[in-house]
């Protein structure tokens, strides 16, 4: 990264002062369903050991007690005890983040709460994206962001997605935020990076030396990443979703982050700077296609009425809050290329859809088939016919080795290979080596937000997204978006809810490359 320096670690992280976690959007869904349970779980485990208090901020009036009750009622049963320990350290401040007097009053209240000015402060902007810049400016104006370089106590801001809606708006937002704080104070969250199995992509690649020599264009035929969801527009999400769509909601952020970890060059350490530099390099090397190639190598679609788990569900256009003339996609599939010596010519297939038959996220690395095929020649073909069919790609009877990294819900690693079927004939059958996190470790991993909040409290930005990663991702996605807006772009395809997407999605695969994964069974 040209402009990026190693981020200084705040020197107070080792001190024992409790921090203040200040959440803007105190009563929003994200806060009540994800952030508060994550904070309660951390408090229950005494992490970080220096402790923290939580200050919810929103516009509607309520007392500390009201807020504790509101949060407590939404707490999952298994976290009720942990929350009981945290509750006395949960406070509420009524403030409109766009109102300078309110923010000044907030500053005064924070000074009175445990730790006061000497507490490290982590501000979480669980707000509408158009408030990220004004909120940060207001915090700066009230003196709430002052932190000496590398000094104590820390002042950090977590920003939720979506971060911009294209390259231009993301650059403008980065610019606006940088006028209030330094990059090392800014933690852009992508909750996929908090998932254990996503972090294991690094562990798997860089701790197991046997894979690195084959992790390149010489041995990998293609890489496929799927994020399939069963959800549609539950919980009144349509208003947000219709202005966003599948490519902006999942592909630009979560999926490209996963791809970056799968395909980047090895980092020299696990420092934020070292890791994020390699991700930036990878994201910048994604080939940005012109309109014709972008249209040829992508497919967008929207679900129509169908079934989910055996129940009838409406089509996207019938969902509450979706405008009748909506052109928002709920499914996107892209065939991409990476312009690097490691990956040139290796197709990268990315697919995401709502209302698919099952929820799963998975990375599949499909390896090349042997150069000479000795087995499983179909009856009735001469040797020459067999060779000819293989050469022209009309016979795909060899099953390539596939390494499948299951991210969720099943957290698995599977390697498929061929074995000789017992008997006199040399007939090969598919077999598999499989690892399952739950079977092996007997426990489920901590939720993503828990890990990320802990990291942010401890000043570790490794699993947060740098400005340059965001911009490189948008540069790539914008090329497709611009192509989809052109008059010659085909109309949105359709697929019935509860199916694997539109007809034609498999056409993004060529020759014997196969097709889209149907999940983890
Ligand atoms: C969010 C998207 O970032 O990720 C949602 O806005 C999506 O549309 C969600 O449903 C999926 O997250 P997960 O962790 O359930 O895969």
CA distance 64 to 53: 12
181 neighbors 157 (Cβ within 8 angstroms): yes
Compute, in angstroms, the gap from residue 372 CA to the centroid of ligand 1. 43
Mean pLDDT over residues 467-483, rounded? Answer: 98
Mean pLDDT over residues 491-515, rounded? Answer: 96
CA distance 80 to 71: 10
Q: Is 242 in the pocket of ligand 1 (CB under 6 A)?
A: no
- Name the residue with the closest Cα to ligand 1, atom 13: 192
Which among 29, 362, 81 has a CA at the least distance from the CA of 195? 362
Looking at residue 390, its pLDDT comes to 82
Residue 278 in this model has a pLDDT that exceeds 90: yes
Find tokens 């079927």 and name the residue.
Answer: 421
372 neighbors 360 (Cβ within 8 angstroms): no
CA distance 485 to 489: 7
Residue 8 in this model has a pLDDT that exceeds 50: no
Report the percent of the chain where pLDDT is more than 70. Answer: 96
* Average pLDDT score, the chain: 94
Which among 322, 323, 402 has a CA at the least distance from the CA of 355? 322
CA distance 225 to 216: 16
Q: Give per-residue pLDDT as tens, 103-124.
A: 999 999 999 999 999 999 999 9
Q: Is 249 in the pocket of ligand 1 (CB under 6 A)?
A: yes
Cα–Cα–Cα angle for 212, 213, 215, nearest 5°? Answer: 60
Looking at residue 4, its pLDDT comes to 46
Looking at residue 507, its pLDDT comes to 96
Q: Is 160 in the pocket of ligand 1 (CB under 6 A)?
A: no
Q: Give per-residue pLDDT as tens, 302-349.
A: 999 999 999 999 999 999 999 999 999 999 999 999 999 999 999 999
- Name the residue with the closest Cα to ligand 1, atom 15: 229
CA distance 228 to 238: 18
Task: Catalogue the active-site residues.
Answer: 254
Looking at residue 149, its pLDDT comes to 60
Tell which one of 128, 191, 316 to mutate to probe ligand 1, the residue whose CB is within 8 A of the most ligand atoms: 191
- Which ligand 1 atom is nearest residue 408's CA? 16
Mean pLDDT over residues 45-64, rounded? Answer: 96
Compute, in angstroms, the gap from residue 281 CA to the centroid of ligand 1. 25
Compute, in angstroms, the gap from residue 186 CA to the centroid of ligand 1. 22
Residue 512 in this model has a pLDDT that exceeds 80: yes
Looking at residue 443, its pLDDT comes to 74
CA distance 148 to 156: 12
Q: Give per-residue pLDDT as tens, 370-413.
A: 888 888 888 899 989 988 888 887 888 778 999 999 999 999 99
Q: Is 506 exposed, middle or buried (0-12, 13-18, 19+ CB in 10 A)?
A: middle
52 neighbors 45 (Cβ within 8 angstroms): no
Looking at residue 11, its pLDDT comes to 40
Give the confidence band of 521 by pLDDT, cuts at 50, 70, 90: low
Q: Is 231 in the pocket of ligand 1 (CB under 6 A)?
A: yes
- For residue 403, the cross-strand partners are 365, 415
User: What one-character-per-residue DSSP string does 381-428 give?
Assistant: --HHHHHHHHHHT----SPPPEEEEEEESS-EEEEEEEEEPSSSS--E
Q: Give per-residue pLDDT as tens, 243-268.
A: 999 999 999 999 999 999 999 999 99
N residues, the chain: 521
Which alpha helices (H) appear in 113-156, and where do they start and end? 132-141
Neighbours of 404 (CB within 10 A): 19
CA distance 168 to 171: 5
- Which ligand 1 atom is nearest residue 249's CA? 6
More confident of the two residues 482 and 383: 482
Compute, in angstroms, the gap from residue 465 CA to the centroid of ligand 1. 17
Judge if the upstream peptide bond of residue 153 is cis by omega within 30 degrees of 0: yes
Compute, in angstroms, the gap from residue 118 CA to the centroid of ligand 1. 36
- Which ligand 1 atom is nearest residue 161's CA? 3
Positions of E strands within 215-291: 220-228
81 neighbors 75 (Cβ within 8 angstroms): no
pTM: 0.95
Mean pLDDT over residues 446-450, rounded? Answer: 92
- Name the residue with the closest Cα to ligand 1, atom 2: 249
- Which ligand 1 atom is nearest residue 237's CA? 8
Q: Is 96 in the pocket of ligand 1 (CB under 6 A)?
A: no
141-160 burial, b at 16+ Cβ within 10 Å, e below that, comes to: ebebbebeeeebbbbbbbbb
CA distance 423 to 92: 73
Alpha carbon 32 to chain centroid, angstroms: 20
Mean pLDDT over residues 462-479, rounded? Answer: 98
CA distance 243 to 245: 6
CA distance 205 to 226: 19
Tell which one of 254, 355, 359, 451 to mutate to probe ligand 1, the residue whose CB is within 8 A of the most ligand atoms: 254
Q: Indicate the DSSP class of residue 338.
A: B
- Strand 412-420 with 428-436, pairing: antiparallel
Q: Is 13 in the pocket of ligand 1 (CB under 6 A)?
A: no
Report the percent of the chain where pLDDT is more than 90. Answer: 87
Q: Is 409 in the pocket of ligand 1 (CB under 6 A)?
A: no
Looking at residue 16, its pLDDT comes to 65
Looking at residue 3, its pLDDT comes to 42
Paired tokens of 421: 């079927």
Side-chain-side CA neighbours of 64 within 13 Å: the count stands at 11
- For residue 335, the cross-strand partners are 349
Find tokens 């400016």 and name the residue.
Answer: 137
Give the confidence band of 12 by pLDDT, cuts at 50, 70, 90: very low
Q: Is 62 exposed, middle or buried (0-12, 13-18, 19+ CB in 10 A)?
A: middle
Q: Give per-residue pLDDT as tens, 140-172.
A: 999 999 986 666 799 999 999 999 999 999 999
Paired tokens of 110: 């924070």
Mean pLDDT over residues 56-72, rounded? Answer: 97
Q: Is 229 in the pocket of ligand 1 (CB under 6 A)?
A: yes
Compute, in angstroms, the gap from residue 4 CA to the centroid of ligand 1. 29
CA distance 398 to 18: 60
Find tokens 């370089």 and name the residue.
Answer: 149
Compute, in angstroms, the gap from residue 229 CA to the centroid of ligand 1. 8
Compute, in angstroms, the gap from residue 205 CA to the centroid of ligand 1. 25
Helix/strand/coil (H/E/C) assignment for every residue in 275-327:
HHHHHHHHHHCECCCCHHHHHHCEEEEEEECEEECCEEECCHHHCCCCCCCCC
């Amino acid at each position: 990264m040209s402009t990026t320096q190693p981020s200084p670690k705040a020197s107070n992280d080792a001190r024992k002062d409790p921090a203040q976690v200040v959440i803007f959007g105190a009563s929003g869904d994200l806060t009540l369903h994800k952030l508060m349970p994550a904070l309660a779980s951390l408090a229950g485990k005494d992490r970080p050991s220096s402790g923290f208090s939580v200050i919810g901020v929103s516009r509607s009036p309520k007392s500390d007690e009201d807020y504790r009750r509101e949060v407590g009622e939404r707490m999952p049963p298994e976290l009720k005890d942990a929350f009981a320990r945290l509750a006395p350290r949960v406070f509420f401040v009524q403030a409109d983040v766009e109102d300078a007097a309110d923010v000044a009053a907030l500053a005064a209240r924070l000074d009175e709460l445990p730790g006061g000015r000497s507490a490290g402060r982590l501000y979480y902007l669980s707000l509408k994206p158009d408030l990220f810049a004004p909120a940060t400016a207001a915090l700066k104006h009230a003196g709430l962001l002052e932190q000496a370089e590398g000094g104590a106590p820390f002042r950090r801001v977590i920003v939720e997605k979506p971060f911009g809606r294209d390259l231009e708006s993301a650059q403008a937002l980065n610019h606006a935020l940088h006028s209030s704080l330094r990059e090392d104070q800014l933690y852009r969250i992508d909750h996929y990076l908090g998932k254990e199995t996503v972090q294991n992509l690094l562990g798997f690649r860089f701790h197991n030396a046997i894979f690195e020599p084959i992790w390149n264009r010489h041995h990998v035929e293609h890489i496929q990443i799927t994020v399939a969801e069963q959800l549609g527009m539950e919980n009144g999400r349509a208003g947000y979703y219709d202005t966003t769509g599948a490519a902006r909601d999942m592909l630009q952020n979560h999926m490209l982050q996963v791809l970056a970890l799968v395909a980047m060059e090895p980092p020299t350490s696990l420092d934020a700077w070292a890791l994020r530099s390699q991700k930036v390099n990878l994201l910048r090397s994604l080939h940005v296609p012109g309109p014709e190639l972008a249209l040829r190598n992508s497919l967008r679609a929207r679900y129509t009425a169908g079934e989910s788990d055996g129940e009838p569900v409406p089509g996207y256009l019938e969902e509450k809050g979706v405008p009748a003339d909506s052109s928002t996609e709920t499914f996107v599939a892209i065939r991409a290329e990476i312009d690097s010596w490691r990956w040139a010519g290796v197709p990268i297939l990315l697919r995401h859809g709502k209302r698919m038959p099952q929820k799963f996220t998975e990375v599949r690395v499909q390896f090349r088939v042997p150069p000479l095929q000795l087995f499983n020649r179909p009856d009735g073909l001469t040797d020459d016919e067999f060779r000819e069919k293989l050469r022209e790609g009309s016979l795909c009877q060899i099953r390539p080795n596939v390494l499948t990294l299951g991210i969720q819900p099943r957290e698995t690693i599977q390697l498929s290979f061929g074995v000789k079927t017992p008997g006199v004939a040399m007939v090969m059958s598919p077999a598999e080596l499989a690892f399952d996190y739950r079977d092996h470790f007997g426990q489920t991993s901590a939720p993503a937000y828990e890990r990320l909040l802990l990291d942010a409290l401890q000043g570790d930005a490794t699993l947060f997204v740098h400005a340059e990663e965001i911009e490189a991702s948008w540069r790539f996605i914008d090329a497709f978006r611009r192509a989809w807006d052109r008059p010659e772009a085909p109309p949105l395809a359709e697929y019935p809810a509860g199916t694997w997407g539109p007809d034609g999605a498999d056409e993004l695969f060529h020759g014997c490359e196969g097709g889209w994964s149907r999940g983890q069974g």
